[in-house]
Structure 1
Amino acid sequence: MGGALLEYWKKGDENFTIVDPFLEDAPEGVRLVAQQGDLGDKRFDVIIVAIKPQMIDDILPDYAPILNDGGYVISMAAGASIARISKVMGDAPVIRIMPNLPAFVGKATNGLVAGPGVRDDQRKHAHAMMERTGTVVEVADEDQLDRVTAVAGSGPGYVFELARAYVAAAEGIGFSHEQARALVLGTLEGTIAMAIDQDDKSLEDLRNSVTSKGGTTAAGLDALNGDGAVSRKFEQTLEAAYKRAVELR
């Protein structure tokens, strides 16, 4: 995920350095070193944490001395709290982010929460960086970021599963897999684009605009969610994902 974000981050004015003992190549214009000791006396305005949470206590303390005075930390380490990151980074201000999979195509939906001591210019800088990768939703606290995880962080999985079921159903009424995939993905892409373009209209209004009384769409919608089963299933889905995010803190 860090590599996907970097492809869009580096379109800004910042200079990036990656520290990774296993990475063989870095994107064009990005410096790559194998370990912290290879950085020499270089110091940084921002340190981005893109490691597994279980590695934080062993690795991050070595990076606290190379953060410039007045610098801050951006963390995308899932489940690692702002307090934990700040402590190992010498009480540096920390911003946590929660990107999602469409970052790979520059269409991420990112959650962002600023911890204690983060200046407004730092928050704006992090927001601008994340905006290069897609949409940014700032939230008030880390509990809200866990809810972002449930909705957007895990969201692509839900959408892929819905699309898979939709394609399978289209095959079931006689289309080849290629035809069904083209019909379903094209419909999803166009419908989402329309919802974004016509954001002055509610989703209910947009749904109703294509639903004629007694027509095919009305019949399909009644079968899909006439008893509210889909709505309840989404509520259960988000609640389960949020509960798990809390457990992983």
Structure 2
Amino acid sequence: MNYNWNWGVLFEEEYLGWLISGVGWTFSVALVAWVLALAVGILVGVGRTLPSRPVALLCTTYVEIFRNVPLLVQLFLWYFVLPEIVPSDMGRWMKRDMPNPEYVTAVVGLGLYTASRVAEQVRAGINAVGGGLTSAAYANGLSTAQTYRYVLLPISFRLIVPPMTSEFLTIFKNSSLALTIGLLELTAQSQQIAEYTFQGFEAFTAATVIYVVIALCATVIAQILERHTKIPGFVGKA
């Protein structure tokens, strides 16, 4: 294979600017979507464990729908289908007048999809606390809301730090699908560099290295957080 390697193209002002812009959009999408995923996921995860069967059923339905439909399909539904089925004025605003529709769609789609996965982690964390503490809380006169606030959630949130690290890394990787609706995040900018320069290996290698660095930094931060939040007796030596 006689490939003309040229790593210097990545440091040319125009293409380096594209990479930096792509990293910025990747962080912007992933972090805002993560905030949305945490907010919705915690509510849905708690709802799945409540004594109220209608609330639990509604939350379970949300999880099963969003978790089992591929993220790419969901992004297409949010971006291409939703503006066509809402009232015409709203659909026109979503397609033409809404600021950064690709970015908003990516955040909403990625956030709500990840929320279904966060909800499962929250539900598992609450169930891992065990019925003994819940019964003790009720025996001491705490209401359901107080039991969740003072007993179940403080413990379960500390238990789910390791699996939530995986979800946090996944949301960064899934943000690359936003290129399919026109958002110029890191993968899209790398593809654009490859098309303009015909240096595809260099462009996608740069994207790979950046993703790896992001993942390693997030893992280190998560390990520090896990070390400070682990509960003796709940977390094993492994």
TM-score, normalised via structure 2 length? 0.26
Q: Which has the higher helix share?
A: 2
Q: Which has the higher strand share?
A: 1
Higher RCO, 1 vs 2 (CA within 8 Å, ≥6 residues apart): 2
